[in-house]
Amino acid sequence: MFFQLNMCILQSNVSTDTLLYLFTSGFVGMIGNGSFQQNRQEGEILVNNQLAQETFRLLQADMSPIAGIQLHLSPVECEQLLPVLERHDLEYSRKVHLLGIYIILTLAAKRHMECVPHHPDLTRNILDGDYLYSFYLQFAVKTRELDLVAYLAPSIKKMQIRRANGNFAEENLAVIMEEFLVREQRQQGRTSKAI
């Protein structure tokens, strides 16, 4: 399938952006002399893999090498936010930024949840979790997602208080981020109507 898409790019005058749009929207047809039939799900998987890889590269490049933290998150954990990003009309770079924030916060929470007494990596897990929370703020400022930080702050604080009291129930960060995006779209809609 990917070979066929490359052949279409080489054999046509259609822009890569147009092909990517057609590829991810389930387009079936001919482009130039090459043809391809695309299943929408396969296109979304390709785009989501690219999004996740680019996000991990960006985060790893921005993270201090002195921290010694390797970013590892299972695809299942990333998949919780990916449908949220697909449902909203966002620029690709913003999707990278939002996924980056999600990854950082998820990893910070995981490191802190691994903090159990007498664990050989207790100190390391505490420090890694604390570093990741500060890195989240740095990354959010750099990517100009301060409204999201303000929106997430009460939820993060409640989650940390619950964990300090021994309640390690998972918070669905993807749901909270979608609530933020819906709220943001409503506010933008009101602003455009006022203009």
Specify whether 22 is located in the same domain as 60: no
pLDDT of the residue at 158: 92
Whether 141 and 65 share a structural domain? yes
Q: Tens of pLDDT along 38-57?
A: 455 555 566 678 898 899 99
Q: Are residues 97 and 119 in the same domain?
A: yes
| pLDDT the model gives residue 44 | 59
pLDDT band at 176 (very low <50, low <70, confident <90, very high): very high
Task: Assess whether 19 and 102 both reside in one domain.
Answer: no
The sign of the torsion formed by the CA atoms of 128, 133, 138, 144 equals: positive
Q: Averaged over 111-129, what is the pLDDT?
A: 78
Which domain does 150 fall in, by range? 44-194
* pLDDT score for 194: 60
Confidence of residue 149 (pLDDT cuts 50, 70, 90): very high
* Residue with tokens 């999600």, as numbered in its chain: 102
Claim to verify: residue 7 and residue 57 sit in the same structural domain: no
Name, of 26-30, 75-79, 177-181, 183-187, the range with top average pLDDT. Answer: 177-181
Which of the two residues, 195 and 183, has the higher pLDDT score?
Answer: 183
User: Which of the pair, 89 or 9, is modelled with greater confidence?
Assistant: 89
Do 51 and 140 have their domain in common?
yes
16 and 55, same structural domain? Answer: no
Q: What was the pLDDT predicted at 43?
A: 54
Mean pLDDT of the chain: 77
Task: Return the higher-pLDDT residue of 10 and 73.
Answer: 73
76 and 56 both lie in a single domain:
yes
Say whether both 21 and 52 belong to one domain.
no
pLDDT on residue 41: 53
Asked whether residue 11 carries a pLDDT value surpassing 60, the answer given is no
Name the domain count of the chain. 2
pLDDT (0 to 100) of residue 31: 42
**112 plus 23 within the same structural domain:** no
**Based on the domain organization, do 57 and 22 belong to the same domain?**
no
Q: What phi and psi values does residue 20 have, to the nearest 5 degrees?
A: -60, -40
**Residues for the chain: how many in total?**
195
Which residues partner with 37 through β-bridges? 28
Q: What is the pLDDT at residue 193? A: 64
Contact 132, 126 (CB under 8 A): no
90 and 170 part of one domain: yes
